A and B are shown apart, each in its own frame.
Chain A
Amino acid sequence: MLVPNPLLQSILIPLIAAIVIAIIGKRVKEVAGWISCASIVYSTIMLILVVVKIWIDQNPIYEEYAWSELAKLKFGLLADGLSLPVALIANLICTACAAYSIPYMRHRIESIYGGDDWGLYRLYFALYTLFVVGFIGISLSTNLVELYLFIELVLIPSYFLLDLFGYSDRHRVAIMCFIWSHIGAALFLIGVVLAYVKTGSFEVSTLSSLTGTYAFLVCFFILIGWLVKTAVFGFHVWAPWVYAEFPTCAAPVVAITAGLGSYVMVRLLIQHMIETFRIFSIPLMVWAVITMIYGAFLTLAQDDVKRLCACSSISQNAYSLLGIASCATLGVAGGIFYSINHLIGKCILFSVAGILVHQTGLRDMRRMGGLASRMPLTAALFVIGAMTLSAIPPLSGFQAEWIMFVGIFRQGFHGSTTGLVIALIGIFATFLTLIYTFWPVKRIFFGPLPNELRNIGRAPYIMTIPLLILAIISLMLGIYPDILMRFLNSAISASQSY
């Protein structure tokens, strides 16, 4: 191995950087953002090195560190075909957003506080870097308590970021975010401890030894906890508020938290508790379809560009849920692929919304129009993002949905007819996605240009270049999906029957 302990480094370096920025940031001012960005890039490089190694020899990498003997906790980091793509995408998106926030936060702090006397800039970046630590931790951890630790670790910066830098009514929304996320995490914790009492250990791998009603209870609690965090229909109340009022440069972070829900469900429930999870399969698929359609209709009703992205996230997360709930190998792999794809697309969309706010100061789409003539690159990026989410070839969305629906239909044919009906409704819902992503394109970028927006300049390159990179990744995955599927297949097919 070229570098010792790459996984631990990918967690530690951003953590150390966060502490360093918090302490000395006030003196270095603008450079704080670059330090944060550099540390995230470093951890991305570590993860890429691990990707290359696994690509070559197909063996997962496992690092283990002692944590607490008495409470039987081991700090383990596992990079295999499933966890690595998720961690890598989370990292890439965070890198893009970090670069994006450097100019954006300056503008934001000016507009809220009128000047930065108190070092808020460095506070933002110190807290933001903690997100990266949390996400990599959630993806790579092998121990349930460690997982819980990182889940709560992500909660703290999101509360502070919302309260300090959010938009209207941010104090109330911050408390809402904290309470909902905490409740989700607490339900998850109940499931974890129930599992511990039966199996005597917190390791993820021991979940397979649970049986019967006990396994049902554990599965139930873990599922409900994460469904709260993923904002399915019924638990979705917090989602439009939190996504929309989150500072736009960090809004994809909330989407990543929800997207990691798909990963955790696969890791815990499908890889280790598949028989119990099958009981939940049909109800969960029905719930996912309801959420998809509800989310789609909610999105169609929005005028605010950020709310639009927020409500569409509710719907898109339900897609991955549909794939995962089908319990078919391709369905699950497709579900994870789709959530990765959704993260890329959503990041592009949110960032474009942020560019719009940065350049025009507007969020209401009714007052926008014809901006393609002033900001052609931004318009192109938005269209690419929309294409990714609506599953139009040659971008990755198409591949993801194709794989996912093949899996679901196969399961529908082998299983009950309800499965088939659900799959058909699912396809219908994807048409709704097409509508609600392309209609804003027309509203924002085409049509007559209002007078007050005649002199809008182009977005700064530092904001558009990261998005361009993400778009290229989406294109790559669309043309050659095997890069990703090779990883996912090897990890998931081990525990499947078809």
Chain B
Amino acid sequence: MFTPIIDSLFIFSIITPIIGFFTPKKSSCLICGAVSAGGYIISMAYLLHILPQILTSPIRIPMETSAVSTSIVIDVPGSLMSLLALALGLFATIYSMRFMERDSGTPLYYSLLMAMVTGIVGASYSGDLFTLFIFWELMCITSYVLVGFRRNVKESVEAAIKYMLMSGVGSATILFGMSLLYGLTGTLNLPRIALSLKAGGEPWLYASLGMLITGFGIKAAIVPLHVWVPDAYAAAPSPISAIIAGASTELAVFVICKLLFFIFPVIKVSWMEFFSVFAVLNMVLGNIVGLLQNDVKRMLAYSSVAHIGYIFIGIAAGTKLGLTASLLHMFNHGLMKALAFLCMGAIIYRIGSRNLEDMAGIGRRMPITSTAFTIAVLGLIGMPPLNGFISKLLLFMSCLDSGMLWLGILLIIFSAVSTGYYIRILKALIAAPRDERLSDVKEAPILILIPICCLAFLMILLGIWPDPILRFAEESSSWLMEVGRYA
């Protein structure tokens, strides 16, 4: 059908519930999880296998020759995004094998999760607005169900409805924006749109750009449109929060990048300033409201909003270094935020509460989880031996390169402000436990610990040895900025 990367995910997402139908209720969670993990591994193995080939020229799976009429281009920027999504999907699946054991309907959960990752992977590889829309909707709709998975809990349902309404409006707006683009150029193929856009038809181009950015921006947590983020991240089961925060939001930003740099270089100057305003709004709101939270998952959600602000700084810079820094920070933030949510989930699994005060002193009882959480938090602050520092440094350098020193200084100031609430998490981890509540809390089970440790290890590795991922990001940005190479 498509490429083996997406095919294997599709096949496994269909097989998993079938197998789940035949396994006994008790162990269905584990077995289905293992089966779907296999799907991710096959997909990632194939992707890594063809990676060297992609670096020279993208693989095109065009509309005419494939069985299903879509246009998928396996190129370097898409691979950056899909690698992140596949890795996070794999970790979330292994994690869910233990985390979701008390929920019903888990075979379908794995299937939906896999479909969501398929959506992310497909959307990042799309060469064509139609394909993008289909996979985008796949990701969105499955994520609606996953956020509200625990439908017996009031707040899950409420969060899911809020999320759905806003995101549905987003999808409709995207569709409208795409139709305007189609009206302007007569084609939906991304490189061809880029090449056939003339300078004429200006107002409609702005309208289309505005609609597309609004639509994708709802998913990407741009400030006035971010209101669903704290509720959805907090109420979703933790592995789902990890995937949505770590892959789906980054995908939205990635698609915005792709559209901006592919299609709209004609009106480059105006959107650069626009994005710096977005960046500042996101940073200010995310960091300041984050200081007021007591629920750790909401705090992490607002910190996501702030980090999206940092990513937008790189886009606002508009240079190649800026785009590289943004892509790198997208990847790093995905890893860090996913690690933070997974650790928080492990703590919730053991103590049943999301509140910061209830968590006090958990570090003594769950040392491995707490160390990993500390690593995630230090990375989010931007401390040196971890990967967050390198991408923040590059973002700052890109600001200076394009002459927006004030934006860079705001970046550093707000990073320092964000330490205010990250420190509260650290403090809660290492404080002395106040009473006997935590005396029978044990360390998280091994299946939950494995993804946490892998992510923490990856973070340290990428921090000390940033070269491979830096080269990857640089290649991606050079491909994204030159549409001509695709035609």
Q: Direct contact between A and B in the complex (CB less than 8 angstroms)?
A: yes
Instruction: State the interface size on chain A (CB cutoff 8 A).
Output: 32
Tell whether, in the assembled complex, residue A193 and residue B383 are in contact, meaning their CB atoms are under 8 Å apart: no
Starting from the known contacts A113-B432, A190-B408, A196-B400, 12 additional A-B residue pairs (CB-CB under 8 Å) come to: A68-B390, A68-B465, A145-B393, A156-B378, A160-B430, A171-B427, A179-B419, A182-B416, A193-B400, A193-B408, A194-B400, A197-B400
CB of B401 within 8 Å of the partner chain? yes
Does B412 belong to the interface (CB within 8 Å)? yes
Interface residue? A3 (CB, 8 A): no
Q: Contacts A68-B467, A71-B466, A178-B423; is A149 near B412 (CB within 8 Å)?
A: no
**Which 10 pairs show the lowest CB-CB distances between chains A and B?**
A149-B384, A197-B400, A70-B470, A118-B364, A152-B384, A68-B467, A186-B412, A193-B396, A152-B383, A68-B466
Does B75 touch A at the CB level, under 8 Å? no
Given contacts A71-B470, A178-B419, A190-B409, contact A153 B385 (CB under 8 A): yes
Report the bound CA distance from A175 to B425 in whole Å.
12
Is B85's beta carbon under 8 Å from chain A?
Answer: no
Identify which of residues 224-250 in chain A touch chain B, using a CB-to-CB cut-off of 8 Å: none
CA distance A171 to B396 in the complex (A): 32
Whether A164 is near chain B, meaning CB under 8 Å from some CB there, is yes
Q: What are the residues of chain A within 8 A of B389 when measuring CB–CB?
A: 149, 152
Given A152-B384, A153-B384, A190-B409: A197 touches B397 (CB 8 Å cut-off): yes
Q: Does B29 contact A (CB under 8 A)?
A: no
A113 to chain B: which residues have CB within 8 Å?
432
Residue B443 is within 8 A (CB to CB) of chain A in the complex: no
Task: List 17 A–B pairs whose Cβ atoms lie within 8 Å, in order of A's numbering.
Answer: A68-B465, A70-B470, A70-B474, A71-B394, A118-B364, A152-B383, A153-B385, A156-B383, A163-B427, A164-B430, A175-B423, A178-B419, A183-B416, A186-B415, A189-B412, A194-B400, A197-B401
Residues of B that sit less than 8 Å from A by CB: 364, 378, 383-385, 389-390, 393-394, 396-397, 400-401, 408-409, 412-413, 415-416, 419-420, 423, 426-427, 430-432, 465-467, 470-471, 474
Interface of B is mostly: helix
**Is A446 in the interface zone, CB < 8 Å from B?**
no
Nearest to A70 among chain B residues (CB) is B470
B431 partner residues in chain A, CB cutoff 8 A = 163, 171
Report which of B383, B415, B467 forms a contact with A70, defined as CB distance below 8 A. Answer: B467
Choose among B385, B413, B430, B470 the residue that contacts A149 (Cβ–Cβ < 8 A): B385
Bound CA–CA A171/B415 (angstroms):
21
- Inter-chain contact B397/A196, CB cutoff 8 Å: yes
Q: A69 within 8 Å of B by Cβ?
A: yes
Say how far B140's CB is from chain A's closest CB, in angstroms. 35
Give, as a whole number of angstroms, the nearest-CB distance from A135 to chain B. 15
| Complex: A375 Cα to B144 Cα, angstroms | 73
Residue A148 at the chain B interface, CB threshold 8 Å: yes
In angstroms, Cα B400 to Cα A196, docked, is 10
Docked pose: A182 CA to B417 CA in angstroms? 10
Q: Judging by beta carbons under 8 Å apart, are A186 and B401 in contact?
A: no
CB-defined contacts of B416 to chain A, threshold 8 Å: 179, 182-183, 186
Bound-state CA distance A160–B426 (Å) is: 9
Q: Given the complex of chains A and B, what is the CA–CA distance between A175 and B426 in angstroms?
A: 10
Q: Once bound together, how far apart are the Cα atoms of A179 and B393, in whole Å?
A: 19
A253→B58 CA distance, assembly (Å): 54
Within 8 A of B (CB), among A128-159: 145, 148-149, 152-153, 155-156, 159
